[in-house]
Amino acid sequence: MKQNAFKGIMFAKRKITRTLGYLPGKSISLERHERPCLVSNEKIETYSDSSFIEIYDPRSESLKGHYFQNRSVYRVKNVILEPKQGLVYSSSGELIEESTNWPIFQLYNSFPWNPKKNITHLHIESAIFLPSSAFWHWLIEDLPLVIFALSTNPSSPLLIARNPPKYVSDFLKTLDREVIFLDGPVQIDSLILVGKCQDAGWPHPKDLEVVVNYGPFVQVKQLNPVQKRIYISRRASKRSPKNEVEIEELFQSHDFEILRLEEFDLVDEIRMMSEVSCIAGVHGAGMANMIWMPKKSKLLDIANDNYWTESVHRAAYLKEIGYDYFVYPGELTGEVSIKGLSQKLANI
């Protein structure tokens, strides 16, 4: 009886979801061929070959492996772009799987936007989309693909959602490229798409290589790092422990400089992070700045036992940065043990 009741509830949810205009599970792939792909597309070149990686996971104290599928650059025609989430759909409303790093079921459980009729048509020969996603995903997963697409298409304009985050606007300053701001979903004649493979949580070595070797970023990196240590404050952000002021005072007593990275221009941020020997901070997007640090530098990740995601230690491994951690229990915004953290700092 319980199982039948559960099935009935799930059926009702699916019915309501479809009535509201959502199409859960409607997706197509440019690579898989078990059924015809109705999106006209051309494979331009290979972005990355398939590969396997194995990284030690400190959370389970065991090795974890991941297989990266090969990825390609495509020119897709007559597609719909939803600029807020950065998803690309066929003209009939099917999500193109290669436009997201996330598992398809996870996207639809979050109720993504679904194409409606009478969408604005953007008549343009070829365009590249620059996402405005959260900083970690933007820097580690999205920006490398845009940089690569720009290098292979010197005249294609950039499409971007209006009123992007500051770091996106900072990146635009490094370009001499036409930018078209979008107020909502558009149907596009032709879009350059660098494929993704649902690798969320696994930074790709190719992506890190592309972003750190982008010309304007290379020019500002310091070649001779100093023994500078930085604590990245989250006091102006979400998930800040309630005693972060005490945490900052502790790090200051160990010769760490306290910085709020959101106050800096992206290029200045890169310059600063390229000359440090150690960064520390509460687990979050700020840790993405490790990719600018020299090899053999150190990172101290202050993580909560309810929120300790895998991307930080995996990116540190790929960048050959020494990863250390301090885990505090309880609520994300609860107190961190100053005594325990002090003991950890004594060994750094």
Q: What is the pLDDT of residues 316-344, one digit of tens each?
A: 999 999 999 999 999 988 999 999 999 99
Domain with 289 in it: 221-345
Specify whether 36 is located in the same domain as 160. Answer: yes
Specify whether 181 is located in the same domain as 297. Answer: no
Beta bridge partners of 186: 81, 120
Residue type, 194: V
Confidence band of 132 (pLDDT split at 50, 70, 90) = very high
Domain boundary among 201, 236, 251: 201
Q: Where are the beta strands (DSSP E) in the chain?
A: 27-28, 41-48, 51-57, 62-68, 71-82, 87-90, 95-96, 120-122, 127-129, 158-161, 179-182, 186-194, 228-232, 257-259, 276-282, 298-304, 322-328
* Whole-model pTM over 0.85: yes
Return the half-sphere exposure (C-beta side, CA atoms, 13 A cut-off) of residue 52.
4
The reported pLDDT for the residue numbered 221 is 83
Residue 207 falls inside a structural domain = no
Q: What sign does the CA torsion over 291, 292, 293, 294 have?
A: positive
The reported pLDDT for the residue numbered 125 is 86
The reported pLDDT for the residue numbered 136 is 95
Specify whether 21 is located in the same domain as 166. Answer: yes
Per-residue tokens: 184: 């909502």
CATH of the domain at 242: 3.40.50.2300
- Please list the helix, strand and coil fractions of the chain in percent, rounded to the nearest 5, in that order: 30, 25, 40
Triad 193, 197, 198: Cα angle to 5°: 120
Of the candidates 84, 86, 100, the residue with the CA atom closest to the CA atom of residue 28: 100
Domain count, the chain: 2
The reported pLDDT for the residue numbered 133 is 93
Specify whether 38 is located in the same domain as 171. Answer: yes
